[in-house]
Structure formats: structure tokens, C-alpha cells
Structure 1
């Protein structure tokens, strides 16, 4: 029998068995929220094992039996085993990214990369890319990986969506995501096109388009965040699930800061050399786009699914009513047609 007590913090278990969260989800879909590494890290030191057991509908003894079974059957790894697996995953990621950068068997590499990033923490991918940059790979090389990341993240987001009625509040929030992503992708494309010009004078039309695009993005983001933060988040927190909304709140702050950096670059562009302006703008757009893709993945795969499982019909009716009062930005035709 494992030597754990009901009042022991969940972190005591996760520190010894780092992949316990994935194992618990494989045994019980009620633990889906734990598969988000950030959420799990925040919750682990705060909640005790009795609470985790109850969240899955188990008694404490039943919960320990499930954990012990996973350990005995090799499904739950110790920290040493997990570290070894992580190093192997890192090595494989580096190899497949080199294939993408060097245009070697690209389709095969993309399929392999898709399999690997489903197992990898986004931080690990960033570490691998940083190491490759130190090995001499350029920003343009990293851009190739960014394109692959984005495509795969969008595929994952799309495939994880439940069927939601068009009148459901989440349907509109998801359409908001699609709109914001569209504006970011358009801005990223425009920013990259600036490399085709040699001066601010030549690029003036593109810079004006960027200013308009970031303005539309800001309107969409601010409206979306206001509705979500004032309607959905408080209801989820009412049920005692506080960590996911707090993470999404912080994501909103971080993305707003990224957008502000782009706005300032566009407003004060002539204070920089043209080449430096383009480099900074592209880098900030890339960061913002990847950050938003990860954020959207977390919201739609974790937060929204948790809400669908937890909230009552009355909760959703109240959220819809409050959202209607706050109002909506106009969805572009491209998103409406999807």
C-alpha cells in the first residue's frame, strides 16, 4: 500500500510520479483538466489527495488503489524514468525540426512532429528551438517551424471541439477565437511582406494595412475578453474551479502586452532603422500568434470542456443573457462563412 494520507498535497504525488496526471485522465475523463501542465502545477501544491480523489468520484482508498495499479503495471513513471523519457523526446524533437529546417522528407517530418508535440510541453519545444538557434539555425529557420506549429495547433483545436449549438454562449466565444486568429495571421503575413521593401516610403501602404488590422484585432480581443471574464469565469469559479480562469486571465494580460508592443512599433516605426523595425515586428507577431494559439488550445480543450461538463442550463442561460447585455463585435464574413 502506498504511504500517502488524505491530507497530503497532490504535489507530493506528482513530484514522485510526474506523469500521474496523464495516467489519471486515461482512467477517468473527469481528470481532463489535470492534463494541462500549467493548471496541474498550480493546483498540485494547493489541493490535497482526498480532494483529488473526490473530484474523480472516488473514495481516498479507491484512488490510491488506482494509482498503485498504474505504478505496478508500468503506466506511472518515477521522476527518474520521466526525466529519461523527456530527454529522449527532446532528442527526437530536435532531429525532426532539423529535418523541417533542412527540407528533408518534409511530409514525413511533419507527421512525426505532429506525434511528438502531442507529448511535449510547449516549454520543451521552445527549449529545443533555442538550442537549435545556438547551433546556427536562423530566425527564418524557426519561422518554418512556427508555420508547422500553427497548422498543427489549429488542427488539434478543431478536432477537439464538441458540437455546440449556434445559440450556445461558447459557440460565439469560439467564433471570437477564429476571428482574432484570422486578424493575427493577416498581420503576421503583412509583417513578413515588409521584407520585400527597402524603406518606409515603399512600405507605407502595408504599414497602414497593419495599423488597421491590429485595430480590428484589438476591438475583437477586448470585447471577447470582457464578455468571457465577466460572464463565464465567475460561474466556473463559483463551482470551486479557480485555477483555470486565473491562468486565462493572465494569458489575456500577456497577450495584451504583446499587442501593445506591436501597436507601439507601428506608431513609432520611424524611430528605428527600417530593417530593425521589420525584424522586431515579425518577432513580436510570431510570439503573439503562437501564444494565442496555445491559449486558444487551453481554453477550448480544457476550460470550455470543463464548463460544458459542470455548468447547468440555468448557468448557461444567465451567461447568454449577460453576454447579450455586454454586446458583441461584428464577426467578419470570412468567419461567418466557415
Structure 2
């Protein structure tokens, strides 16, 4: 493990050296060659850590922003490929990619032919066409606004702060460049060559941002966000709007129809709403009230990995929403921690362990988290019970307090 950590630290150090060399005026091709010699492949996470480290060491965000397009070009052929399954239609990732494809297609099929016309002959009609093209590309503002106001806050929640700062700055530069394109095209005194140069530079920056979104930003988000967080992003997206194309369908995560599935199994419940146990009889509303009154949080996941129930106490330690019911438990956690969840469930399901315990400090709380293998009367595994409790007050108990007192 120490060898892996040291290797990561070494690569991190070398990545910073390369960026600083670019900052000090080194030739891009020269840096690219050195990069390929030293680094076999870097992940998007390492790029994020590198930028965060540079900011922590005092380099201004504006400095990294100025280098952003340069080091993206260096990394372009070297970023380690991370294969993620394609997201369902209407998922925020799918929407971003389709918008990017629409922008690239529009530039190629509309803007560039008009720019070629301008290269042949300057005319008022050609400039009007270019103005229309640029106005269409102003739709990118919605694309960038969704990214900045819906995606970046979640990255920052997970402590990923440098890439959002840098990318937001570049977004603003592209917005400014589009305004400048419009002004230049609309100014009679500006010649064709000046128009061509600024438009070509702007479209190059747009293309580079598309690359950064799809090869750095989105893989980072896919590795980090939970399904509920993507659902929140999707639900707020309509208010900001879309760029050139809109989602054709509304994305909804797959949910198990637990109510229909379990309805036929409630044979123990009579028409008056009682459930008979081996140790007594309770009304359904009594069971719910009892579970909600317990000074701990309960979540039950069945043997198929579907979340079937959570208690509704007034002071839950970890928030739960009813949207988790019917979901695979893996989808209730960020992808980066899914392997831990799967290992706990597998150990309990296989019988290797009967329970697994964790305890963590959360501000003033001291939280005990226990996972139990739940088995039926035949000893067969039927699910996992998670119990979460703040044990701070229990730890502080001293002496005795008898009933009579």
C-alpha cells in the first residue's frame, strides 16, 4: 500500500512540476514529451488533487484558469480511460453529452460554412448569418449555468473545489468571447481576418470545454454522486433550461413496485389491520409508532438488495427520503463507497459475519452504526438491518439511577 501511495505522491509532484513549467513559459510540445516520459497515465481524480494542491500552495485560481486550456491539451491524449456505462435517456449526464453533440454539430454544419463564405468575400448578408450563429451559441449559457449551479455545489459538498472554480472561470471566458465575437461581427470597421480569428479561437475553446466536461468533469461526478443527487439535479434542470436540444423523456430511476409485490404476502394481517406475531398481536399503526419511537434509526434491505423500510423518527442521524424505497441499496450510496457496502452485505449474506459495526464522530454526535444479518425461523438469510444510534449520552452515563428515584 505504501508503494502505491508513494507512487501517487510522486506523480502528483511531477504533474505540478509540468504545470509550473508551462506557467514559466516552457514550450507545450516539450512539456508534452516530458509528460509522456514521466507519467504512464493519470486519472481525473489526480488532476483534481493537483489543481487543489496548487491553489492551497498559493497559486491563484486565475493562474490555473489561464493554463487550463494548455494543460488540457497536454492531458488530452494521456488521461487514463475510465469506462462508465452509458446513462439512461434523460439522465443529466446523457443530457449534457447530447447538448455537447448538438453544439459541435451546429458549429460544423452552420457556423463554419458561413465562416468559409466570409473568407471568400465579406458581405452584410454573411455577417448577418454569422450573427445568427453566434446568437444560437449563446444558448451555451444555459448549459454552463446548469453545470455551475446544480453540479458544482455537489462536487464542493464532497470537498472537490478546485476543478469547479477553474471550470467556472473558463465558462465565463467563453461567454465573454461569444460577446466579443458578436461585437466584432457587428462592427463594420473590423475586417474579415479579425472576425475569422476570434470566431475560430472561440469555437476551439468551446470544443476544449466539451472535452473537459466529458473526460474530466462527468467521470468525476459519476464516481462521486449518488442516484438521489442526480435526481435532484435533474428535477432542477428545467428551471434553468437547455442548450439547443431538450430532453425527449423525463428520467426516473428504476424502482421496485414493493407495494404490489408484497400485497399478496400479507396473509398474517386480518381485515381489521392486526398482525399476529409469535409473541403477541399489534395493529399496523402501533408497529409504525413503536419503531418510530425507538431512540435509533432502522433501515431494512431485503435479500435482493432492495430498500424496503426505514423508521421515521423525528431526529434521524442520516437523512432518508421516501424515494429510497424500492431502490437497490448500492444506488443509495456514492459510487466511491459502493464496494464497501457490497462487502458488508456479502459477508452477512454468506454467513461469514453475523453483524458489522462502525463508529464515527459527527460534530457533537458519536454515532454507532451496526449492520445485522436478518434470518427467518429456518435460519435463511432474508435481508440486512442497519441500526444507527447516537451513543454520546450513553457513554456519559455514570453511577446509578433506580426506578424509585
What is the TM-score of this pair, normalised by structure 1? 0.53
1:32-56 deviation digits (Å, cap 9, x = unpaired): 332x4xx4652333579xxxxxxxx
Q: CA offset at residue 271 of structure 1?
A: 2.0
Cross-structure match for 1:114: none
**Which of 31, 44, 48 lines up with 1:32 in the alignment?**
44
Equivalence map 1:89-108=2 (5 Å): none
Q: What 5-or-longer segments of structure 2 have no aligned partner? A: 19-33, 58-67, 247-405
2:160 is paired with a residue of what secondary structure?
A: coil
Q: CA offset at residue 23 of structure 1?
A: 4.4
Matched, 1:166 2:86: no
Cross-structure match for 1:295: 209
Mapped to 2, the partners of 1:229 and 1:319 lie a distance apart of 11
Equivalence map 1:1-338=2 (5 Å): 12=13, 14=15, 22-23=39-40, 25=42, 31-34=43-46, 36=47, 39=48, 41-45=50-54, 123=70, 162-185=85-108, 186-197=110-121, 199=122, 203-218=123-138, 220-268=139-187, 270-272=188-190, 277-331=191-245
1:93-139 deviation digits (Å, cap 9, x = unpaired): xxxxxxxxxxxxxxxxxxxxxxxxxxxx9648999xxxxxxxxxxxx
State the structure with more CA Rg. 2
Q: CA offset at residue 208 of structure 1?
A: 1.2
Deviates more, 1:16-25 or 1:167-176: 16-25
Q: CA offset at residue 183 of structure 1?
A: 3.3
Mapped to 2, the partners of 1:44 and 1:217 lie a distance apart of 34
| CA RMSD between the two structures | 4.0
1:164 is paired with a residue of what secondary structure?
A: coil
Cross-structure match for 1:54: none
Change (3 A) 1:188 1:40: farther
Structure with the largest fraction of helix: 1
Query: Relative contact order (C-alpha < 8 Å, sep 6+): which is higher?
Result: 1
Residues 10 and 44 of structure 1 are in contact (CA less than 8 Å); yes or no, is this contact kept in structure 2? no
Cross-structure match for 2:269: none
Mapped to 2, the partners of 1:288 and 1:170 lie a distance apart of 24
1:196-247 deviation digits (Å, cap 9, x = unpaired): 22x5xxx2222111111111111x2111112111111111111111111112
Residues 231 and 319 of structure 1 are in contact (CA less than 8 Å); yes or no, is this contact kept in structure 2? yes
Change (3 A) 1:24 1:212: closer
Residues 9 and 44 of structure 1 are in contact (CA less than 8 Å); yes or no, is this contact kept in structure 2? no
Q: CA offset at residue 184 of structure 1?
A: 3.1
Mapped to 2, the partners of 1:251 and 1:23 lie a distance apart of 28
Q: What 5-or-longer segments of structure 1 have no aligned partner? A: 26-30, 49-120, 128-151, 333-338
Mapped to 1, the partners of 2:236 and 2:186 lie a distance apart of 35
Matched pairs, number = 213
Change (3 A) 1:159 1:290: farther
Structure with the largest fraction of strand: 2
1:10-36 deviation digits (Å, cap 9, x = unpaired): 8656567985994474xxxxx4332x4
Residues 9 and 45 of structure 1 are in contact (CA less than 8 Å); yes or no, is this contact kept in structure 2? no
Q: CA offset at residue 325 of structure 1?
A: 2.8
Residues 236 and 242 of structure 1 are in contact (CA less than 8 Å); yes or no, is this contact kept in structure 2? yes
Change (3 A) 1:41 1:284: farther
What is the TM-score of this pair, normalised by structure 2? 0.45
